[in-house]
Structure 1
Amino acid sequence: MLDTVSKELALFWQQIEQRSQFHAGYPYNLNCDYTHIGKFFNFLLNNAGDPYVEPDFGLHSRKFEQEVLSFFAELYKIPENEFWGYVTAGGTEGNLYGILLAREIYPNGILYSSQDSHYSIAKAARLFGIQHQVINSQANGEMNYEHLSQVIRQNSQQPVIINLNIGTTVKGAIDDLDKVLEILTRHQIKDYYIHCDAALSGMILPFLDGAPQVNFQKPIDSVAISGKFIGSPLPCGVVLTKKKWVEKVETMIEYIGSKDTTILGSRNGHTPLIIWYALQTRGYEGFAKEAKTCIQNAQYLFQQLKLREYPCMLNKFSNTVVFQKPCQKLIKKWQLATQGNWAHIIVMQNIDRQKIDTFVNELVLQEGLMPESEYLHLQPALT
């Protein structure tokens, strides 16, 4: 029996290792090594309840979770005594939490999100019974501000709940916070809540010179960030909000000796440890370097496609390169994400320029833009 199990695991290892070499369409940093903390996976770590309340249950990683949250609070410029947050199971949970708080604060509010918003936003509206208005998008995936202004004006007597995309799922577009705030001012909206879905770009924008400033120095109310750019063997993320909003929803649970302030009851205690280890070993400077490299490599991919006159698009401050959908063979091999006639590559830490060159040459060969003899001549340099 043990021999059979070992063979199954060895086969699966080979499969995952091979597929990891050609993983380009989805935003996961595959350049991570957590060998040094692997021993902790032999223990149960459960961060049930509030991350700032010491429970009766002793097997948890709250100390590490609190240090992770302090890093993000500093990154998003909110004072220690004003913020609250927790390590989530991923960007979707962070979005659900932000929209849930908004619903609790403004029960009759209307949720506004663009066509390019992540599907979890519409899911949140259904789960929490919130009136939802979808706003048109511009061609680059950014919110159509004229349409937003029009629908807010039509519903100016109701509170406004806005989902702001800080890097859309397909095109990597960034909604303009300042334009949204100007619309709210123009229509004299006093009651509003702004949730920022910064799943991927939340760990990129803060490190880029000249990038849009989206932080708590402006009147945002919550931000959800995925652990994808950090890199983790387990899905995870962080949600930050204002402490005063969480106090409106918290309840004390005697059974666990803690407050119920999160969406989930039991919460993974290994993911705070993973994020903490990444922050400690790579630091602010390390993540800044990674963010800039990914942006530069995305621009390199975009330029290579442009040189070959292959239809493509790249938003400013984005590592998501959108291009005309290629043949199914390439989509399957490179695990590309597609929507309609378009596909994209999200240039993460594991997508270097050599890998970009390999993909581009395969693309132009498959699409008939390069003679096969020329491709075969290049092949030794690509392998």
Structure 2
Amino acid sequence: MVGSGHLGANGTVEPLPEDFDASAVIKEPVPPTVAESENVKRAIVLGKNVHTLCLEVTEPDADDEITGERDAYMASVLSKYKKSLTERTKHHLGYPYNLDFDYGALSQLQHFSINNLGDPFIESNYGVHSRQFEVGVLDWFARLWEIEKDEYWGYMTNCGTEGNLHGILVGREVLPDGILYASQESHYSVFKAARMYRMDCVKIATLHTGEIDCNDFKAKLLLHKDKPAIVNVNIGTTVKGAVDDLDLVIKTLEDTGFSRDKFYIHCDGALFGLMMPFVKLAPKVSFKKPIGSVSVSGHKFVGCPMPCGVQITRLEHINVLSNNVEYLASRDATIMGSRNGHAPIFLWYTLNRKGYRGFQKEVQKCLRNAHYFKDRLREAGVGAMLNELSSTVVFERPHDEEFVRKWQLACQGNIAHVVVMPNVTKGKLDDFLNELVEKRAQWFKDDKFQQYCIASEVGETCCLCPLHKGK
């Protein structure tokens, strides 16, 4: 009989209350399997990206709790998955994640549902939160970017994209009729924000380095002098690691007649936002300059094992977004309501362990290894480019997609890149290069493939194809 009882804490069946309505529980809780149509095939958008294998979720048998077979099965699956992660981590070069971390001390917190919903600076009725850690992390970044504690507002985002969405949203609310300007090599989330917010967006040309072309920027500003400017400045572009010259962007705005109340600058520092403060020649990202917001990813250079980020803006701007939420007993000006409460603890832990000096050493190591790798590539006859302020080494795209997948390279057109992070050693770079050289010998044997020309992407001086070699 359905509804005759339920399991108590000790595993025994206890009778249900007399007033329990058995009809409130469906008799068969497992929905029927949906058969796939023979005439409909799943479309793969990017063609070469094959859908991964599926670990099906299956219903437990009636005696699973007694035999323990399901627990053993799941333990076996997870063990195999861990081995796969270990192997894939060995060949991880194309994406900007710092895999050099150890958070074993934080495993004791995994049993808690930590949620930092609402404003980080206003405690809500939900008591299982980590706001004290979050605000500590925000204060650390506020000091890095030179803004006083009583002059900024911020929060920990779920990823770098959310930081961009929030920064551009603040810009739009401050300047409702503003036009969004972004270089064509800006992260796709910037253009996603323009679509989401129905903003007019103007793409700016870039130099071969990937840096914004301020001559083109000025020309396009002059076409729209009657509208305020909301500008995305890249502190490290996605593909080439180019750092836009913040000072030149500000000068261009001012020279074109835009007063400071007519422009808003958001700095997308997803990866290099934490690296640039420790590079002597880099344009300084500072709220002492007329910028409106800065965002950085926490799972990239910092090395958090889960996607997250930090978004800092001026306190004077945030009231345009804030709303009182009665049932939280708090205010909310974030993009997402609920936010991962574990992430701030991970970042707090790392910032305490490393500090500014620790990150300075890691930045120096990354830049040094990036220059080493770029030089070795060119010595091997591989066209390559490295921006002066970057640890992203751009080079000719490999001809073998299996090789690309093995080393998890990010590719675009005729180029690929390796992002040298703290966990990427010279030994790992040597292993990659040795295998690349062996593969190239096979690809170019008997003119099976031709060496890619990358002059249009990175300039003739960086290309080593037959046409440009020696120029």
Indicate whether the TM-score tops 0.5.
Answer: yes
Post-superposition Cα deviations, 1:101-152, rounded to whole Å, max 9, x if no partner, equal: 0111111100000110000000000111110011111111111111110110
Aligned counterparts, 1:274-289, within 5 A = 274-289=346-361
2:188 paired with 1:119: yes
Residue 437 of structure 2 corresponds to residue 364 of structure 1: yes
Q: In the TM superposition, what are the counterparts of 1:341-356 in structure 2 within 5 Å?
A: 341-356=414-429
What is the deviation of 1:369? Answer: 8.6
2-structure distance, mates of 1:42, 1:247:
35
Of 79, 83, 93, the residue aligned with 1:24 is 93
- Give 1:149's aligned amino acid: K
Deviation, 1:182, is 1.4
| Contact kept in structure 1, 2:133 and 2:345, CA below 8 Å | yes
- Equivalent residue for 2:383? 311
Out of 267, 277, 295, the position equivalent to 1:224 is: 295
Structure possessing the higher radius of gyration over alpha carbons:
2
Partner residue of 2:151 out of 74, 79, 82: 82
Q: Which residue of 2 aligns with 1:379?
A: none
Q: Percent identity?
A: 45
Match of 1:196 in 2: 267
Shift of 1:210: 2.5
Give the whole-Å Cα distance in 2 for the aligned partners of 1:137 and 1:144. 5
| Contact 1:25/1:344, CA 8 A, preserved across alignment | yes
**Paired AA for residue 389 in structure 2:** F
Q: 1:259 aligns with which of 294, 319, 331?
A: 331
1:218 is paired with a residue whose SS is: coil
Tell me which residue corresponds to 1:156.
225
Q: Secondary structure at the match of 1:194?
A: strand
Task: Kindly report the root-mean-square deviation, in angstroms, between the aligned alpha carbons of the 2 structures.
Answer: 1.4
In the TM superposition, structure 1's runs of 4+ consecutive aligned residues that sit over 6 Å from their partners are: 369-372
Number of equivalenced pairs: 372
Deviation, 1:350, is: 1.3
**Inter-partner Cα distance in structure 1 for 2:129 and 2:414:** 47
Please tell me the residue identity of whatever aligns with 1:352: T
Q: For residues 16 and 215 of structure 1, what CA distance do their matches in structure 2 show?
A: 38
1:1-383 mapped onto 2 (5 Å cutoff) = 1-190=70-259, 191-227=262-298, 228-326=300-398, 327-368=400-441
SS state of the match for residue 95, structure 2? Answer: coil
In 2, are the aligned partners of 1:365 and 1:371 still within 8 Å (CA)? Answer: no
The amino acid of 2:425's aligned partner reads: D
- 2:202 corresponds to which letter in structure 1? Q
SS at match of 2:405: helix
Q: Is the 8 A contact 1:98 1:224 kept in 2?
A: yes
1:75-115 CA distance string (max 9 Å, x none): 00011111111111111000000000011111110000011
Q: CA deviation at 1:330?
A: 2.0
Equivalence for 1:375: none
CA distance in 1, matches of 2:206, 2:255: 21
1:179 Cα offset (Å): 1.3
C-alpha contact (below 8 Å) 2:265/2:292 kept by paired residues: yes
Q: Distance in 1 between matches of 2:443 and 2:405?
A: 21
1:364–1:370 contact (8 Å) kept in structure 2: no
Assess if the C-alpha contact under 8 Å between 2:91 and 2:407 holds in 1. Answer: yes
- AA aligned to 1:211 is A
Conserved in 2, the CA contact under 8 Å of 1:88 and 1:237? yes
| SS in structure 1 at match of 2:305 | coil
The structural deviation recorded for 1:214 is 1.5
The structure whose RCO (Cα within 8 Å, separation 6+) is larger is 1
Question: Alpha-carbon deviation of 1:371?
Answer: 12
In 2 relative to 1, CA 117–371 (structure 1 residues): closer, same or farther, beyond 3 Å? closer
Q: Deviations over 1:202-222 (max 9, x none)?
A: 111111222221111111110
Counterparts of 1:187 and 1:208, CA distance in 2: 30
Q: Which runs of 5+ in 2 are unaligned?
A: 1-69, 446-471
Contact 1:166 / 1:201 at 8 angstroms: preserved in 2? Answer: yes
CA distance in structure 2 between the aligned counterparts of 1:243 and 1:371, rounded to whole angstroms: 58
2:374 is paired with a residue of what secondary structure?
helix
In structure 1, the residue corresponding to 2:97 is in which secondary structure? coil
Deviations 1:59-90 (A, max 9, x none): 00000001000000000001111111111111
1:370 deviates by: 12
SS at match of 1:203: coil
Alpha-carbon distance between aligned partners in 2 of 1:205 and 1:178, rounded to the nearest angstrom: 14
**In structure 1, what residue type is equivalent to 2:155?**
Y
Cα distance in 1 between the residues matched to 2:171 and 2:238? 22
Query: What SS is found at the alignment partner of 1:366?
Result: helix
CA distance in 1, matches of 2:442, 2:77: 41
Q: Distance in 2 between matches of 1:371 and 1:289?
A: 40
- So what's the TM-score if we normalise by structure 1? 0.95
Is the 2:247–2:283 contact (alpha carbons within 8 Å) kept by the matching residues of 1?
no
Q: How many Å apart are 1:309 and its aligned residue?
A: 2.4
Q: 1:155 to 1:309 in 2, by over 3 A?
A: same
3-state SS of the aligned residue for 1:193?
strand
SS where residue 201 of structure 1 aligns? coil
Higher helix share: 1
In the alignment, what sits opposite 1:381? none
Q: Deviations over 1:268-298 (max 9, x none)?
A: 1000000000001111111111111011111
